[in-house]
């Protein structure tokens, strides 16, 4: 992973400072992180592949985003909240699946072959608890989450850690470290880029640096990483950021985090992996049809992805975006015109390496006897196969199935053929 030619030391040699001393990094090192002209300098080195993970919290209803309208049973199960067929406004994808009309801005990316959907994807774990399912999936565990303490992306980052990684190599937007990055080498948790700065005097930063160099607790390690982040971000001005190519992000939390992710990736400060959350997908009640609650979320999600892909422009050739969720929702609608917790769902993948313009699925069918348990779509693609392929694509072939997903009998998903060449 040749991130930058003159990297910052992961563990800078201890230096002696006066108690009120200034201990900022040499400017030459900073500039190597920032590129000659900071944020405007977008360069895509051949090995500089990037990953954006967007996790839809609460179980997104895959059957409403990528609608299996060609399966007659779908229309029986979703009598009130069904989305019909292309004749009634659904956006046809391949004669069997249709895209929710509220997500229309994704269609051009699909047609251009940049975007693919994966259906009937999910975890082999049977839980229908959000928390357990997220804990299991974010760790990439076979069954119970307790089997693994670290997150899948954390393991991928460890397996391919460059000798001198950027402090911003793995970033999450929010206020908590997600389990996906649990155990990762110095992940940065950023609420908004505007918060990644510290007022006060240079002397103060020097004192804080010295305090955090004197000890070895988790706080010390995190504090030192935070200081390197501050140094790197001193040269970035988020307020001056203008998305490229007229990209317009929705003014929603999802739109805003993707805008900031683009800003960060384009700032060329060594960010490789960005993890983002989107919430509100637990549509038990009145989820709506072509308009309504879920439609609003789809418009927002699609608009944000469209703006992001437009904004990063040529960098999309080196960036893979995966939109995942902990499980899908029950196929029969419930009495409150929503859907309950199910099993398999739908994911989206966009950008580098994706065999796009296609809905990848081994469709399990929607007849009662084909459904799982109380009426759920059967999982025919173990999500770990897709995440393994993405990890190998982004971080390199050195990542083995055994190291990333213990217990996985790898089966090619067909989504990332280039990943395994």
Partner 1 sequence: MLDRRTLIVATAGLAAGCKPARTSLDPRQTYLPDRTTKATDADRRRAGHLLSRAAFGPTPALIEDVLSLGLDGWIDKQLTPPTEVIGPASYLQPTETTGLHFRLNSLPCLRPGAIYELRDVSQPRVLSELSAATILRSTYSQWQLRERMCQFWTNHFNIYGRKVATARERKQADAELLYFLADDQRTVIRPHSLGRFHDLIDASIKSPAMIGYLDNQLNKSGNVNENYARELLELHTLGVNGGYTQADVKNVAKVLSGWTIEDGFLKRVGSVVFDGKNHTRGEKDVLGVPINEPNGEAERDKLVEIVTSHGATARYITAKLVDFFCGHESDTYALKDTSARVYRQSAGAIDKVVRHILLSDAFYASKPKFRQPFDYLIACLRATNADTSGIGNIQYQLERMGQPLHQWPMPDGYPDTTTAWVGNMIPRWQFALDLASNSIQNTKLDNNAVKHLCRNRFAPASDADRLTAVLASPEFQWA
Considering only residues 46-75, where is the footprint of partner 1 by CB under 8 A? 57
Nearest to 309 by CA among 390, 241, 237, 243: 243
Exactly one of 340, 376, 382, 389 binds partner 1 (CB under 8 A); that residue is 340
The rounded distance, in Å, linking the Cα atoms of 252 and 203 is 38
Residue 212 near partner 1 by CB under 8 A = yes
By the rule CB under 8 A, 384 interacts with partner 1: no
- Residue 367 lies near partner 1 (rule: CB under 8 A): no
Q: Which is nearer to partner 1, 78 or 114 (CB)?
A: 78
- Interacting residues with partner 1 between 161 and 190 (CB under 8 A): 172, 174-177, 182-183, 187-189
The rounded Cα 414 to chain-centroid distance in angstroms is 20
> Do you know the residue count of the chain?
421
Give whole-number Cα distances, 177 to 115, 193, 404, in Å: 28, 16, 19
Fill in the per-residue mask, 223 to 262: x = in contact with partner 1 (CB under 8 A), - = not in contact.
x--x--xx--------------------------------
- Pick the closer one to partner 1 by CB: 117 or 267: 267
From CA 330, how far away is CA 337, in angstroms rounded? Answer: 12
Per the CB < 8 A criterion, the answer to whether 221 and 186 are in contact is yes
Does position 14 bind partner 1 by CB under 8 A? no
CB of 165 to partner 1, least distance (A): 15
Taking only Cα atoms into account, the Rg of the chain, rounded to an integer number of angstroms, comes to 22
Give the dihedral sign, CA 96/102/103/104: positive
Q: Which is nearer to partner 1, 55 or 212 (CB)?
A: 212
Which parts of 140-184 are beta strand (E)?
Answer: 170-173
Counting beta carbons within 10 angstroms of the beta carbon of residue 34, is it exposed (0 to 12), middle (13 to 18) or buried (19 or more)?
buried
400 has which bridge partners?
Answer: none
Residues 293-332 touching partner 1, rule: CB under 8 A, are: 293
Interface with partner 1 (CB under 8 A), residue from 47, 88, 237, 286: 286
How many residues bind partner 1 (CB under 8 A)? The answer is 56
Q: Which residues bind partner 1 (CB under 8 A)?
A: 19-20, 57, 128-132, 172, 174-177, 182-183, 187-189, 191, 195-201, 203-204, 207-208, 210-212, 214-215, 217-220, 222-223, 226, 229-230, 279, 284-286, 288, 292-293, 334-337, 340
């Amino acid at each position: 992973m040749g991130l930058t030619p003159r990297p910052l030391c992961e563990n800078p040699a201890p230096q002696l400072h006066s108690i009120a001393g200034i201990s900022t990094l040499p400017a030459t090192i900073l500039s190597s992180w920032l590129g000659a002209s900071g944020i405007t300098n977008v360069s895509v080195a051949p090995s500089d592949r990037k990953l954006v993970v967007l996790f839809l919290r609460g179980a997104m209803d895959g059957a409403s985003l990528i609608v299996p309208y060609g399966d007659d049973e779908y229309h029986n199960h979703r009598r009130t909240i069904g989305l019909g067929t292309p004749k009634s406004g659904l956006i046809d994808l391949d004669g069997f699946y249709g895209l929710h009309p509220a997500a229309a801005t994704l269609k051009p990316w699909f047609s251009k072959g940049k975007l693919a959907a994966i259906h009937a994807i999910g975890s082999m774990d049977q839980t229908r608890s959000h928390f357990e399912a997220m804990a299991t999936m974010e760790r990439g565990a076979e069954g119970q989450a307790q089997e693994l303490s670290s997150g899948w992306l954390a393991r991928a980052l460890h397996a391919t850690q460059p000798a001198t990684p950027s402090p911003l190599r793995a970033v999450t937007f929010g206020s908590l470290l997600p389990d996906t990055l649990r155990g990762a080498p110095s992940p940065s948790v950023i609420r908004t880029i505007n918060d990644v700065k510290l007022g006060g005097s240079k002397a103060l930063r020097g004192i804080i640096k010295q305090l955090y160099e004197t000890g070895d607790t988790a706080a010390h390690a995190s504090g030192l990483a935070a200081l390197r982040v501050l140094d790197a971000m001193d040269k970035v001005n988020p307020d001056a950021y203008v998305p490229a190519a007229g990209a317009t992000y929705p003014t929603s939390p999802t739109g805003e985090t993707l805008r900031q992710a683009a800003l960060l990736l384009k700032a060329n400060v060594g960010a490789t992996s960005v993890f983002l959350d989107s919430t509100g997908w637990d549509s038990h009640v009145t989820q709506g049809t072509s308009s309504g609650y879920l439609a609003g979320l789809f418009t927002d999600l699609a608009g944000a992805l469209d703006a992001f892909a437009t904004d990063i422009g040529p960098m999309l050739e080196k960036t893979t975006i995966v939109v995942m969720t902990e499980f899908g929702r029950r196929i029969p609608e419930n009495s409150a015109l929503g859907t309950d917790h199910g099993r398999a769902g739908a994911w989206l993948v966009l950008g580098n390496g994706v065999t796009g313009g296609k809905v990848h699925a081994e469709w399990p069918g929607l007849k009662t006897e084909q459904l799982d348990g109380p009426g759920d779509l059967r999982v025919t693609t173990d999500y770990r196969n897709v995440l393994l392929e993405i990890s190998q694509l982004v971080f390199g072939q050195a990542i083995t199935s055994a190291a990333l997903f213990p217990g996985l009998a790898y089966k090619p998903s067909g989504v990332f053929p280039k990943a395994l060449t």
